[in-house]
Chains A and B, each alone.
Chain A
Amino acid sequence: MPPRKRAGQAALPGMPTMADLRDTLWKAADKLRGSMDAAQYKDFVLGLVFLKYVSDAFEERREQIRQEVLDQGIAESRVEVFLNDIDEYAGHGVFWVPDEARWLYLAERAKGGRIGELLDAAMDAVMKLNDPLKGVLPKIFNRDNVDQRRLGELVDLITDARFTGHGDRPARDVLGEVYEYFLEKFARAEGKRGGEFYTPGSVVELLVEVLEPYSGRVYDPCCGSGGMFVQAEKFVLNHRGRRDDIAVYGQEANERTWRLAKMNLAIHGIGGDLGPKWEDTFYADKHPDVKADYVLANPPFNMSDWHRKVDDKRWHYGVPPAGNANFAWLQHIVSKLGERGAAGVVLANGSMSSKQSGEGEIRAAMVEADLITCMIALPPQLFRTTPIPACLWFFAKDKGPQGAKKLADRRGDVLFIDARNMGTMVDRTERKLMPEDIKKIAGAYHAWRGTASARVENLNYEDEAGFCYSATQDEIRQHDHVLSPGRYVGAAEVDTSDDEPIANKIERLKKELYGHFDESSRLEQEVRTWLERLDV
């Protein structure tokens, strides 16, 4: 970073911290609230934040180019040529921002009453010049229901937010973080529907730490805002990999969410293929030929209203019921796995034990096909937006040693992990898996699978009562192909009454109740007889 700039910023009283920045932006979001619902103003705010980012990143790169060129001894008068060379930007993952879309230009005109029109034009201009953004940015600022005065104020507020100048962090990382923060905040504000585009960070992290997507094709059939990809990329970068070690494929049915995902990927510099437009994965698979090395997914839980084709060739293990898409997602995902592909899926707990409408048979068939590597029961309240408890399914096409990888031969085995008592309440309504929880769970998996990372850390697998258990297919058969980890890991010290599959529990309570009824009628009769004999 050029010293001039640093000096200039240090002179500013109260350099913005990350928290200040988030705060400012969240306040900005609130400005427009009132006239719109959460889902709508999300598009507004995230669109503007994105534009501000694109513009900041552009200015930052521009300054860098100037410095680089001058450092190479090129004359000041020639600098302009480099500054206007679009490749100097694209090569660094920075979008070209034409004059009329630069934030400074827009900020100066925030108060004129025409800001909505200018913003729409700016979005248009950016999209025209940058192919990856085609059709992605929202052009919704010049509508009747948008209060232009408030919109101007919002632009002012965002003007004060600086994505550059946070130590050595490039604008991209800062905005990436802010963007994720916003997605999370908006998901909460939208309640249950919000959960569709956002999976809690600690859950995604766990999926990634188990799957370890070092390189290859990463696919998410219901990618929401693209959180899985961002986390996968972080994993790669944390392990000294490069951004392009993984190739990203995704699909998303909701138009707005699809746009969010495109922007999210752009911000993180991930060149992914999310299809030419939004589309329902069941209706039209946009990546029919992709054989993924890793699938990461958090499908909507218990989706009842889904496009079901009975003779779909994806239903290799049985036709999923019309009223619930859980097993449709699972089978779709399995059908996408390459020869040595692996998948991790977040799903509602019911999927582990349900026997309705043929779901039990599909699950049994998947167990018998030896596709499942690991089942993890998650603690409650990880998802602020739904009280439904969730679990993780892990699949692998090849559970053997996989040649040079020298994995443990796990054919016929399934690892069960009961993490229901893990995690820490971060506030009074939401729980998070902490880094040590994720380490413990992923560690157990790697030890069991005998992966390279387990060898590095010298981990050896052992069953641990109440936490993990490696079961054979035979044991699973004995449990009627029910996959709830609580049934396998043995008694934990705490209350295990909920381990009982709900259907069994209902049957047992019914019988108990009938028993009480019989006893009750017998006693009723006796009481009657005795009372008749009292001389009162």
Chain B
Amino acid sequence: MSEWTMLRLGDAITVKHGYAFKGEYFSDVGPGGLLVTPGNFAIGGGFQIGKAKYYDGPMPDGFILDPGAIVVTMTDLSKGGDTLGYSAKVPNDGRIYLHNQRIGLTQIVRPDLVDRNFLYYSLQTPLYRSHVLAGATGSTVRHTSPSRIYDYVLRLPGLDIQRMIAAILGIIDEKIAVNEQVARTAFGLASAMYRRYSEERSSWRAIRLADTARWYSGGTPTTSEPLYWGGATPWISAASLKSSWIDHSERRITALGAVNGTRLVPAGTVIFVVRGSSLKDEFRIGITQREVAFGQDCKALLPVEGVSADVLFHAIKSRSAQILEMVDETSIGAGRLATELIQELPVMLPSSTEDRVVDELRMLNRLAAARQGESRLMLSLRDALLPRLMSGEIRVRDAEREVENAL
């Protein structure tokens, strides 16, 4: 049995602040390097490509991040400090990432004590997070500092076990990432196939969106009524409609909630956002994978006989650019999509659901949805395992024996 010891982070790593890049050289489209900002940190840790911000201006040496470098957020703009202190790895995708001022770059000065991947996951444990949050300064915008991070005391096993633990978590993360790729590629393939058929098949026809489906409006059950909330049915709103495969929401309603002020739609319904700030630059749309309820900021389209939801989804999605151009701005600055306008939009559909493409698109959509579901499970598994593996509460069978044998 190898020993678990205690390590003050400051004794093994350094955290370096980034450079204050000048705002006048920022752009949303490039050219230039991509600035890593707190927006690139996923809740729970990990890198996410959010809204890209490019920098094309003068800068001193030493602020280009290496692929795989471990960075942490030093500032968090969210209310709950959702991402403060979390770690992420700089992607290895050939792009140049710049070390912005609110980001800390970790460097290991004692590689004999701590493995870098183990460090990466250590900076995602609830214990570490509560340490950082407890010492955060600022009320609306929360900050942390290198010294605060240095003060964290970590429990850690020998290097071999560290690597093994990091490997398990790494494999799960990789699997989640590849699932996302499968889902994204399946979606891309389905869109490309839709486009091809809609342009080349002469039997396809243009139909006003109004005539493709029955249109439903949603609603919100009274939020102050606890009997309505916390059930099993996902309640979809502009905020939760982030994926095209709708099967999940943080907010769920009960059977009682379902009959009080909202609407239920079955699997195979197309739902899209018609109100909210997201409409300014993004048209959120998806197909329900199960029965869900939805809010007033969405519209639900239940396809009529002869129209397939799987094709309709791609038909509407393919016209996102045009749809976004129909968006009005409301008096409070949010976006609004007028039903009368979008109903007039012509979409190309096959003349019958017998068309082979209907099956092809359905299969690809299902594949993407299934991988998304699998990833969600994997993510819960990872979140459950991570703190317990890192604390030694859960051990890897035979691993320690193997390590000892190898010595």
Binding site for B on A (CB under 8 A): 191-192, 302-305, 323-325, 348-350, 354, 356, 380-381, 385-389, 425, 428-429, 502-503, 505-506, 509-510, 512-513, 516-517, 519-520, 523-524, 526-527, 530, 533-536
Check A516/B185 contact, CB under 8 A, given A324-B202, A389-B199, A535-B396.
Answer: yes
Q: Are B325 and A425 in contact (CB under 8 A)?
A: yes
Check A192/B205 contact, CB under 8 A, given A388-B348, A535-B395.
Answer: yes
Given A323-B202, A509-B192; 9 other pairs, CB 8 A cutoff: A350-B200, A354-B200, A381-B322, A386-B346, A388-B199, A429-B341, A527-B175, A530-B167, A535-B397
| Interfacial residues of chain B within 135-187, with CB under 8 A of chain A in the complex | 167-168, 171-172, 174-175, 178-179, 181-182, 185-186
Q: Are A523 and B202 in contact (CB under 8 A)?
A: no
Q: Does B399 contact A (CB under 8 A)?
A: yes
Q: Does B51 contact A (CB under 8 A)?
A: no
Residues of A within 8 A of B186 (CB): 513
Interface flags for B180-217 (1: CB within 8 Å of A; 0: not) read: 01100110110011011011111101101000000000
CA distance A145 to B174 in the complex (A): 69
Min Cβ gap B222→A in Å is: 36
Total chain B interface residues with beta-carbon distance under 8 A: 47
Residues of A within 8 A of B348 (CB): 386-388
CA distance A45 to B178 in the complex (A): 61
Q: Are A510 and B199 in contact (CB under 8 A)?
A: no
CA distance A191 to B343 in the complex (A): 13
Check A385/B206 contact, CB under 8 A, given A516-B181, A536-B394.
Answer: yes
Q: Are A512 and B185 in contact (CB under 8 A)?
A: yes
Residues of B within 8 A of A192 (CB): 205-206, 346
Which one of A385, A503, A505, A516 has the highest number of Cβ atoms from chain B below 10 Å of its Cβ? Answer: A516
Check A534/B385 contact, CB under 8 A, given A429-B322, A506-B189.
Answer: yes
Q: Which residue of B lies closest to A348 (CB)?
A: B199
> Which residue of A381, A387, A506, A513 contacts B206 across the interface (Cβ within 8 Å)?
A387
Q: Are B341 and A428 in contact (CB under 8 A)?
A: yes
Residues of A within 8 A of B250 (CB): none
Min Cβ gap A495→B in Å is: 10
Q: Are A530 and B171 in contact (CB under 8 A)?
A: yes
Secondary structure at the B interface, as helix, strand, loop or mixed, is helix
| Interfacial residues of chain B within 316-351, with CB under 8 A of chain A in the complex | 318-319, 321-322, 325-326, 341, 344-348
Check A523/B208 contact, CB under 8 A, given A302-B201, A502-B195.
Answer: no
CA distance A513 to B189 in the complex (A): 9
> Which residue of A324, A380, A509, A536 contacts B189 across the interface (Cβ within 8 Å)?
A509
> Which residue of B171, B202, B394 contacts A535 across the interface (Cβ within 8 Å)?
B394
Which one of B185, B205, B398 has the highest number of Cβ atoms from chain A below 10 Å of its Cβ? Answer: B185
Q: Are B188 and A534 in contact (CB under 8 A)?
A: no
Q: Are B398 and A520 in contact (CB under 8 A)?
A: no
Q: Are B200 and A509 in contact (CB under 8 A)?
A: no
Q: Are A350 and B179 in contact (CB under 8 A)?
A: no
Min Cβ gap B84→A in Å is: 30
Check A387/B347 contact, CB under 8 A, given A527-B175, A533-B396.
Answer: yes
Q: Which residue of A lies closest to B176 (CB)?
A: A523
Q: Which residue of A lies closest to B321 (CB)?
A: A380
Min Cβ gap B161→A in Å is: 13
Q: Are B171 and A527 in contact (CB under 8 A)?
A: yes
Q: Which residue of B lies closest to A520 (CB)?
A: B178
Residues of A within 8 A of B182 (CB): 513, 516-517, 520
Residues of B within 8 A of A527 (CB): 171-172, 175, 378
Q: Are A303 and B202 in contact (CB under 8 A)?
A: yes
> Which residue of B199, B203, B345, B378 contacts A502 across the interface (Cβ within 8 Å)?
B199
Residues of A within 8 A of B189 (CB): 506, 509-510, 513
Residues of B within 8 A of A386 (CB): 206, 346, 348
Residues of B within 8 A of A516 (CB): 178, 181-182, 185
Q: Are A520 and B346 in contact (CB under 8 A)?
A: no
Can you show 12 pairs from A to B with CB atoms below 8 A apart?
A191-B208, A192-B205, A324-B200, A324-B202, A325-B202, A356-B200, A387-B348, A428-B341, A509-B188, A533-B399, A534-B385, A536-B394
Q: Are A523 and B171 in contact (CB under 8 A)?
A: yes
Min Cβ gap B399→A in Å is: 7
Residues of B within 8 A of A389 (CB): 199
Check A506/B185 contact, CB under 8 A, given A304-B203, A356-B200, A519-B178.
Answer: no
7 tightest A-B contacts by CB? Answer: A304-B202, A302-B202, A192-B206, A509-B189, A523-B175, A350-B199, A502-B196
Min Cβ gap B404→A in Å is: 16
Residues of B within 8 A of A425 (CB): 325
Min Cβ gap A406→B in Å is: 40
Residues of A within 8 A of B378 (CB): 527
CA distance A98 to B244 in the complex (A): 67
CA distance A505 to B344 in the complex (A): 30
Residues of B within 8 A of A502 (CB): 192, 195-196, 199
CA distance A386 to B179 in the complex (A): 36
Q: Are B192 and A506 in contact (CB under 8 A)?
A: yes
Q: Are A429 and B188 in contact (CB under 8 A)?
A: no
CA distance A305 to B201 in the complex (A): 12
> Which residue of A385, A503, A510 contacts B346 across the interface (Cβ within 8 Å)?
A385
Q: Which residue of A lies closest to B398 (CB)?
A: A533
Q: Are A513 and B397 in contact (CB under 8 A)?
A: no
Q: Which residue of A lies closest to B381 (CB)?
A: A531
Residues of B within 8 A of A428 (CB): 325-326, 341
Min Cβ gap B375→A in Å is: 11
Check A505/B192 contact, CB under 8 A, given A324-B202, A388-B199.
Answer: yes
Q: Are B188 and A520 in contact (CB under 8 A)?
A: no
Residues of B within 8 A of A305 (CB): 202
Q: Are B196 and A506 in contact (CB under 8 A)?
A: yes
> Which residue of B174, B179, B326, B396 contacts A534 across the interface (Cβ within 8 Å)?
B396
